[in-house]
């Protein structure tokens, strides 16, 4: 009987550490990733850049500091 309990414990341990799937990302993490991949146009020159790389001033997107300062 003790042997069976040990075997079951070993199988459960292997399952828990190696086979069990990791939890999925939360919707907030997915939304942040999608937002960083989004492309926006510069208000001044029309160049597209990702939201993460864009400069934001007064709710407008700019591709560079030069465009932001020139407007």
pLDDT class of 46 with cuts at 50, 70, 90: very high
- The pLDDT-based confidence of 2 (bands split at 50, 70, 90) is confident
The reported pLDDT for the residue numbered 47 is: 93
- Domain spans of the chain, in order of start: 2-70
pLDDT score of 7: 92
Each residue of 12-45: pLDDT tens digit?
988 888 877 666 656 665 665 555 678 899 999 9
Look at residue 48 and tell me whether its pLDDT is greater than 90: yes
Gap between the terminal Cα atoms of the chain: 80
Instruction: Identify which of 50, 71, 32, 36 has the alpha carbon closest to the alpha carbon of residue 63.
Output: 50
- DSSP category for residue 55: E
């Amino acid at each position: 009987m003790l042997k069976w309990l040990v075997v079951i414990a070993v199988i459960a341990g292997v399952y828990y550490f190696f086979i069990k799937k990791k939890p999925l990302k939360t919707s907030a993490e997915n939304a942040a990733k999608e937002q960083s991949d989004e492309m926006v146009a510069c208000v001044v020159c029309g160049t597209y850049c990702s939201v993460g790389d864009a400069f934001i001033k007064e709710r407008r997107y700019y591709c560079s500091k030069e465009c932001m300062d020139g407007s």
